[in-house]
Amino acid sequence: MVERIEKKILITGAAGMLGKALISRFNDRFCVIALDLNPVKENNSSIVFCPADICNLDALNGIFHKYRPEIVIHAAAYTDVDGCENKTELAYRINGQGTQNIACLCKQIKAKLIYTSTDYVFDGSKGGAYREDDPPNPLNVYGRSKLEGEKAVARTIAEYLIVRTSWLFGAGGKNFVDTIIDKAGKGEQLKVVNDQIGSPTHTESLAQAIEKLIGHIFQKNKRNAYGIYHITNSGTCSWFEFAREIIDLSKTKAQILPLSSAEFARPAQRPAISILDNSRYNEIIGHSLCSWQEALKQYIVKEKGSLR
């Protein structure tokens, strides 16, 4: 039986793709407070559901002071990368000011904060894997607004972890894996960019990694281990290679063609190479996350029930 720790953990973005994986990871071990615009209630669950907008400081204030969580994982965000380009003000309000609100309240109630951020804070021009201390230079509004959130966390609170991750896929959210399987299932011909390189990451792998960081750093109070971490599944690929693996692993048959970013114009520019160097996490925890191919296999078997 899993030992239940009566610590309270508040998860923002609880109805989102990562939020759902975090809730199922922490529900056994912590008292979970799930915050989102519209958190989905589960019957017979001990989770406390709090509908709230992270931009509404008064509403947040009431929740933080009522429940006084020891740890906050802030995963709520405006995540539509292309949508951010013409909803700039909304992107900065949610990803910047909303994160500032969360950080201020964590400071007030002395909660430790984990903020999830993105590989899109980098411009991709390094040509190799980015370390935590490489200078960010986002190419799009989403990346700039998430970087605003990072700065708000770092200037407001001392006990924080910023976890940058990339190319998330997982249950209960709009993601690339499901899109490819759906389109392939309809017999559509797929065209996917082959000149953007990164690391696909399963939300369950990331939730497990965050749990390990909490155990190693917060529960043992290793203050010198606070700061930024890059955490992704191991290995790298292009979106085209990722799509080809999805088609190979799922029982779909589809024709897939490589495309350049220039041929597939989108409102938001993306970095060409946004690989995140995971060494800091790997050294602290003692091992790396499994490969993205292995994580993808697990996801397809669990969610789609089949493998070729």
Ligand X SMILES: NC(=O)c1ccc[n+]([C@@H]2O[C@H](COP(=O)([O-])OP(=O)(O)OC[C@H]3O[C@@H](n4cnc5c(N)ncnc54)[C@H](OP(=O)(O)O)[C@@H]3O)[C@@H](O)[C@H]2O)c1
**Binding residues for ligand X (CB under 6 A):** 13, 15-19, 36-38, 53-55, 75-79, 94, 98, 116, 118, 146, 165-168, 173
Instruction: CB nearer to ligand X: give 79 or 140.
Output: 79
Sort residue 161 into left (φ over 0), alpha (ψ -120 to 50) or beta.
beta
Going by the DSSP 8-state scheme, the letter that residue 269 receives in this structure is -
Instruction: CB nearer to ligand X: give 78 or 160.
Output: 78
Instruction: CB nearer to ligand X: give 19 or 124.
Output: 19
Instruction: CB nearer to ligand X: give 163 or 190.
Output: 163
Q: How far is the CB of 227 from ligand X (least distance, A)?
A: 17
Instruction: CB nearer to ligand X: give 100 or 166.
Output: 166
Q: Which class for 48: exposed (0-12), middle (13-18), buried (19 or more C-beta within 10 A)?
A: middle
Is-catalytic flag, 226? no
Q: Which residue number places its CB atom closest to ligand X?
A: 16
Catalytic residue among 115, 120, 130, 142: 142
Q: How far is the CB of 46 from ligand X (least distance, A)?
A: 21
DSSP codes, 270-301 = --SB--B--HHHHHHHSSPPPBHHHHHHHHHH
CA–CA separation, 172 vs 21, rounded Å?
9
Q: How far is the CB of 289 from ligand X (least distance, A)?
A: 14
DSSP codes, 62-129 = HHHHHH--SEEEE------TTHHHH-HHHHIIIIIIIHHHHHHHHHHHT-EEEEEEEGGGS-STTSSP
CA–CA separation, 121 vs 140, rounded Å?
9
Q: How far is the CB of 16 from ligand X (least distance, A)?
A: 2
- Given a contact cutoff of 8 angstroms between Cβ atoms, the answer to whether 198 and 119 are in contact is yes
Q: How far is the CB of 6 from ligand X (least distance, A)?
A: 26
Active site residues: 142
